[in-house]
Every structure is written in C-alpha cells, then in structure tokens.
Amino acid sequence: MNSKDNFNFWWRWLVVADMVVILFGFSMILASDLLMQFFSLVFYASPLALSSFQAEAVAYIRFAHGIMGAVMVGWGTALMFALFSQFRNREYMGWLTITVSMSVWFLTDTTFSIWSGFWQNAIPNLGFAVLFAIPLAATRRAFLK
C-alpha cells in the first residue's frame, strides 16, 4: 500500500469514527429511553435502576442526555468539517484540531467520571479515544514537513 492509499485508509477510518460520535449523539436524543437503560446497566448493573428514580429526576436525566447528545452532534459535525477540509488537504491544523479536541474531551470527561465516582464511564471513553488515536498516530507523519 503506498503512502496515499495508507493516508486515505486512515482518513476513512476517522470519518467512520466521527460518524459513530454523531450517530451516538443522535441516539441520545432520539432513543433516550434505550440509552437511559444502557447507562443504567453500566452504572447500576440494572437497566431499570434509573427509571425507578422520581419522575422529575427521570425527566431531568432524559433532558441532560438530550443536551449531551446535541453537543456530541455539534462536536462531531465540527470534526467532520475539519476532516473534509484541512485534514483531507494534509494541513497540520486539521490534524491538530482533531487531536487536541479528542485529547481535551478524553482527559476532562474521564477525569470527571472517575472523580465523581462513575468510573465505569471511563471504559467507553477509552474505546472512543482508541478509535481516534490509532488513525491519528498513523497519519501524524503525513502532516510533518
């Protein structure tokens, strides 16, 4: 595989990874009950634990998930613009935008998750981080001049 094909492979990988972020964000909005069951299972070992909270708390959790989903859709969309412009054109700022954005998200979200006692959230965070870190590491040389 030549360097252009190699770069295109990793670029496509990042596009798919970013689509996962965007689709996950939409799912937090459009399938909030299903996602609440998922998070309930992850955090409380029961898919119904969150739904047993008081009605106001359940409504607020659903609202917070929707807001987080909207933020993920917006963040993923911004990353997609960087991927299809600067990154695709091998401009260092495109690589840096995605790398810094993912790093800041991972460090703040994972640190807060552990600090607040919900360490289980660090596990899917690690999966998302690796999903982006592999192609970012593989393409770094293409951006060095």
User: Which parts of the chain sit beneath pLDDT 50?
Assistant: none
- pLDDT at residue 104, rounded to an integer: 98
- For 130-143, b where at least 16 C-beta lie within 10 A, e where not — what string? ebbbebbeebeebb
What pLDDT score does 1 carry?
A: 66
The set of long-range contacts for 58-62, using a CB threshold of 8 Å and a minimum separation of 24, is: 61/36, 62/32, 62/33, 62/36
Alpha-carbon distance of 112 to 119, in angstroms, equals 9
